Amino acid sequence: MKKDVRFYLEYGIYYLIIFVILREWLNPIMELTNTGYDYYFLLFIALSLALALLGLPLFITWFIKIGYIAFFIIRAYSEFSFFSTEGLHFLYSDLQWNMLQLLQRNFTEVSNPFRTLLFLILIWMLVYLIHHWITVHMSVFYFLLLTVFFIATLDTFSDYDGKAAIVKVMLLGLMLTAFLFLKRSSTTMGTLLQRKSYMHYLMPVIVFVCLAGFVAFLLPKASPQWSDPVPFIKSLTGQGNGGGAVEGKVGYGENDETLGGGFSQDDTVVFRAHAQKRQYWRVETKDFYTTKGWVVDNSSYFEMELPSNTILPLSIPTGEEPKQAEIFPLEEFPFILQPYGLQRVVFDGYTILNGQTEKLQTVVQDNIVALDHYQLVYSEPSYSFTALKDKNMPRMVVDARFLQLPHNLPERVRQLAEEITSDYGTTYDKARAIERYFQQNDFSYDTKNIAYPAEDQDYVDQFLFETKRGYCDNFSTAMVVMLRAVDIPARWVKGFVGGEQVGRSDDGLYIYEVQNNDAHSWVEVYVDGVGWMPFEPTIGFSSPASIDYDVELTENEDELVTEEQRELEQQQREELEQATQNEETKATTSSILNEKNKKWLIVLMIALAAVGFLLYRRRRKWLPTVYVQMQRQKKQDAGNFDLSYTRLLKQLERYGFKRQNNQTLKNFAQQVDEHFGTKDMSILTEAYERMIYSEKGEALDYEQLKENWAYLINRTKG
């Protein structure tokens, strides 16, 4: 294929659209995995598309891509220069070690640089496949289908919000499909569209797609019909609740004596929080495990009355940077929702602190009441990685109730806990080992198919060794019990996870809406020398703990820090940026969908309907011009002449000349010529019959016939 300026301009537009669509593939991966260096991945996509467009020899493109991949990995995962011997040695050593792991089938032990290498190779292959679809098949239907399916799946089954991405992909995909359809049609007919004609055909498509997208964006949207598609899909397959469990309703409750059973989703908003970032909200802890659930050991029960705006004697450590938050409960919650590091509560009244559970009840005029608004002052703790990893920390004496276990706890639960933690020397490492255990041993998150344990069965034992399926109560209870089984103080915590960011308040705080669906339970562990620290064993949730990696790690020490820990700070840094983007998008949507714009939407739809009706009614006036412009670009042959003659008959019918069923073409042509005072219709009809009924069609002068046809069809506009 000869490549000129027109080729590079045309395919450059195609690849630019592909780049934007591929960016919508990359965004959720970066967001959900908290992966940094996203601009390096985008640059590799752009580089791959540019090399595909230039069509350089294969060995040159391979050399450039491999060089970029090597540069990326050395830049991201080492402190060496790409041009240094140390950098190349790092690359070689890492590749050699990972190949050894693959040969030994230790697939979970591959390093992060090697995972990055595999991901870049995947992008390389995807770009090559797209290039093949565009240049050979001139169609991207399957690519667009995969993109929409990929984004929709992540939007449904993860925290990623893919609504804007799907709209963007659909609009760009429709435009690209139109471009490629025109390219494929012109290639099939062997014609070369001029720039003016090219834009003449494409501008209506571009305008229509943009207009359709704008109207679709303005239209009111129905609320989701499924609160959670996973239970709905399972119900269609007849899986039911499993084990005869009684299904409850999600939300915060006081009674935890009998855990188990599934629950249905409830998206009712129970409170709004104005805060600097999304976080966990504690309500209370429980300490006594009964083999079926949790109760409070009241043997040493005490309460404290604390006036408003006084320092609270909570057990969670605090940080150094004070922050403020405001809570607006929408349900009857006569207690304080506590961020980690809570120091003071401000409202017109006082609080009662339960010394056993650390639940803070709100009191106004000597009555426990639910507030409609209160302010919080807190300082989020940051846990020193040096202290967490210090094996020489003195063992602190902690209340024995945080080591309580039932006397009939199955022995295999203790054995499993000891097996998981046997290779670790610090409390933190042992807790992290148990926390990771659920991620790596075929456990699954489920809210429907959860049965209650039998009368003589332990709740944790059933979960660990039989079902391996559950939600937060299963995971958190199991972790607390296993920690206590290896003499690590732990307690069960109830509250809410962060909710959905919906806007920004006047004082600059982000507004989060927390639903019943966000009710949650997790674990707090007492780490010697550090204090109580939160852990999150439930699959699909991230720990709220903020860790200060205050040491320079060697390469060997860095292996001890799991990927989730290393990414935690990056996740927290990016959260505010993502929240800002979400806020702007939702604010724009909210502004457009107000009542005033709905009136304009009705006016716009009426205007569009009127324009469409007028264009249809006057199609006899403008269709001939379109037909003539299309005919000028086509190669004149028998096939195109057949199509042109058929269009002429249709246009004459719109003009008022309809051929009767028993009327010959010759007689009809004479009737037309008599009306217009020409012989063009007879000439065209004679040529048409020769082409159809004889073998002399190849001898026809199609260029002259095109002039006769153009003159006659233009006459029908009058």
**Is the C-alpha dihedral spanning 573, 578, 583, 588 positive or negative?**
positive
The residue with tokens 């991405």 is 165
At residue 429 the predicted structure's pLDDT band, cuts being 50, 70 and 90, is: very high
At residue 313 the predicted structure's pLDDT band, cuts being 50, 70 and 90, is: very high
pLDDT at 680: 87
What mean pLDDT comes out for the span 193-216? Answer: 75
Three-point CA angle 226, 449, 491, nearest 5°: 105
8 Å CB contact between 476 and 266: no
Is pLDDT at 673 greater than 60 in this prediction?
yes
Q: 3-class DSSP state for residue 67?
A: helix
Lowest-pLDDT choice from 152-156, 341-345, 681-685: 152-156
Domains of the chain: 5-218 (no CATH), 271-287+301-382 (no CATH), 383-591 (3.10.620.30), 618-715 (no CATH)
At residue 82 the predicted structure's pLDDT band, cuts being 50, 70 and 90, is: confident
**Is the C-alpha dihedral spanning 42, 48, 51, 52 positive or negative?**
negative
Position with higher pLDDT, 196 vs 91: 91
Question: DSSP letters along 266-321, please?
Answer: ---EEEEEEESS---EEEEEE-EE-SS-EE--GGG--EEEEETTS----SS---SS
Lowest-pLDDT choice from 80-94, 265-279, 331-345: 80-94
pLDDT tens per residue across span 21-46: 888 888 877 766 656 667 888 899 99
Specify burial of residue 689 (Cβ count, 10 A radius: 0-12, 13-18, 19+): middle
> Which residues lie across from 496 on neighbouring strands?
281, 519
What token pair was written down for 435? 């926390």
What token pair was written down for 622? 């403008």
Is pLDDT at 242 greater than 50 in this prediction?
no
pLDDT at 53: 86
What token pair was written down for 1? 């294929």
Is pLDDT at 496 greater than 50 in this prediction?
yes
What mean pLDDT comes out for the span 466-476? Answer: 91
Position with higher pLDDT, 360 vs 302: 360
8 Å CB contact between 433 and 420: yes
563: Cβ–Cβ under 8 A, 6 or more apart, which residues? 112
pLDDT tens per residue across span 143-189: 888 888 888 887 776 667 777 888 888 888 888 888 888 777 777 66
Strand 444-445 with 469-470, pairing: parallel
pLDDT tens per residue across span 611-621: 777 777 777 67
> Which residues lie across from 533 on neighbouring strands?
525
Most confidently modeled range among 12-16, 105-109, 259-263: 12-16
pLDDT at 11: 85
What mean pLDDT comes out for the span 87-94? Answer: 85
Is pLDDT at 682 greater than 60 in this prediction?
yes
Question: DSSP letters along 199-265, please?
Answer: HHHHHHHHHHHHHHHHHHHHS--PPPS-S-HHHHHHHHTT--SSTTPPPEE-S--S--SS----EE-
Most confidently modeled range among 7-11, 100-104, 466-470: 466-470
> Which residues lie across from 284 on neighbouring strands?
494
At residue 593 the predicted structure's pLDDT band, cuts being 50, 70 and 90, is: very low
8 Å CB contact between 380 and 323: yes
Q: Distance (Å, rounded) from C-alpha 507 to C-alpha 579?
A: 16
Most confidently modeled range among 84-98, 194-208, 410-424, 449-463: 410-424
8 Å CB contact between 90 and 98: no
8 Å CB contact between 286 and 357: yes
What token pair was written down for 206? 């571009």
Q: Which of 100, 121, 123, 113 is nearest to 74 (CA)?
A: 113
8 Å CB contact between 163 and 27: no
Is pLDDT at 520 greater than 80 in this prediction?
yes
Phi, psi of 100 (to 5 degrees): -65, -40
The percent of residues in the chain predicted with pLDDT above 90, rounded, is 27
The length of the chain is 718
What token pair was written down for 277? 């970032």
The residue type of 437 is: Y
Tell me the pLDDT of the chain averaged across its residues.
81
pLDDT at 564: 47
Q: Distance (Å, rounded) from C-alpha 498 to C-alpha 520?
A: 10
8 Å CB contact between 78 and 90: yes
The percent of residues in the chain predicted with pLDDT above 70, rounded, is 81
pLDDT at 264: 76
Q: 3-class DSSP state for residue 276?
A: coil
Q: Distance (Å, rounded) from C-alpha 76 to C-alpha 113?
A: 8
Specify burial of residue 636 (Cβ count, 10 A radius: 0-12, 13-18, 19+): middle
Q: What is the crossing angle of helices 680-693 and 702-715, to 10°?
A: 130
8 Å CB contact between 340 and 276: no
8 Å CB contact between 434 and 482: yes
Q: 3-class DSSP state for residue 492?
A: strand
The residue with tokens 């007849």 is 238
Contacts within 8 Å (CB) and 24+ apart, 56-63: none
What mean pLDDT comes out for the span 600-610? Answer: 72
The residue with tokens 């040096």 is 386
Is pLDDT at 278 greater than 80 in this prediction?
yes
Q: What is the DSSP letter of 83?
A: T
Lowest-pLDDT choice from 306-315, 544-553, 597-606, 699-708: 597-606
Is pLDDT at 433 greater than 90 in this prediction?
yes
For the chain, the distance separating the N- and C-terminal CA atoms, rounded to the nearest angstrom, is: 44
Q: Which of 245, 175, 259 is nearest to 212 (CA)?
A: 175
